Amino acid sequence: MEQRDWNELPTHCLIEILGKVGIESLVGTIPFVCKSWYNATFYPQCWQRLVFTKSPHLRSSKFSIPILRLRKDSRFDMLPYESIDEANDSLEKLVHFAIGRSHGLVTEVVFHPRLHLKEGQIMWIAQRCPSLKLLVLPSHLSYVINFEVSDSICNWKGLEGLQVASLIGLKKSIININKNCRNFNHLCVYVPRLDGDVASVIASQLPDIKTLDLRFSTVERDDLVAILKGCRKLEYLDVSECKGVACDNEILKLAGHIRIFKHEGSCVS
């Protein structure tokens, strides 16, 4: 049987493949395979989906990376994380390199929960990634960076999904999403306790949201009821393992239109 020469793979096919292999391979492996593969890494289409999974501190990480897939069955996959790595220059250089190669075509930026961003990085990304559709942020951000996110949302008219792990600046972020992001459908908030004001803003400012993930938080019953009444187009709601609320008959009735409603393990206390 004749062996296939991967060096002769059509460029458009190669670009499609390289767009799925991950940043580490694009930087450290693919360019050294052959000349055609090296040349293909200069196509911006290879750098549209940027998943920053590693730093020198994360080489042995056993955790999966949370990724929201923008389909009808969209959901976030993530567990709570406690450990934090310090900001490092290697991550900053990798971010700048990858986004530079994209020439403004980036649609997804996903950061590992344990990565630590430097102040100014989100604003830098916002200025160079106007087509961003998905942003998954690390578990711990400084006060300043959280508000960088809020302000940057005004630059992302096509934003569809956001994952955060802080209430700082979140109300402003949601208000800016309502004003600027017509296609926004997916929100994931991983916090110890969902603030009543934030729940109210979600209900009033995101009436068309399709996916809402509040796992592991404390959510008061009245706040969940407000969200269910305000977000009538929800297709996926996850309040599993949430404290502060148990799904009684009223809540189940309000959630009756939701295609996937997860509430396993939720309890009053």
- Read off the pLDDT of residues 228-257 as tens digits, 9 standing for 90 and up: 999 999 999 999 999 888 888 999 999 999
Q: Rounded distance, CA 263 to CA 215, Å?
A: 9
- Read off the pLDDT of residues 170-213 as tens digits, 9 standing for 90 and up: 999 999 999 999 999 999 999 999 999 999 999 999 999 999 99
Number of H helices, E strands in the chain: 10, 8
Choose among 197, 199, 202, 166: nearest CA to 186. 202
Q: Rounded distance, CA 213 to CA 217, Å?
A: 10
Which pLDDT score, from 0 to 100, does residue 57 have?
34
Which pLDDT score, from 0 to 100, does residue 71 have?
40
Which pLDDT score, from 0 to 100, does residue 45 have?
83
Beta bridge pairs of residue 261: 237
Q: What is the pTM of this model?
A: 0.82
Beta bridge pairs of residue 108: 49, 134
For residue 210, how far is the Cα from the chain centroid?
15
Q: Which regions in the chain score pLDDT beneath 50? A: 1, 55-85
Which pLDDT score, from 0 to 100, does residue 34 have?
78
Which pLDDT score, from 0 to 100, does residue 185 have?
95
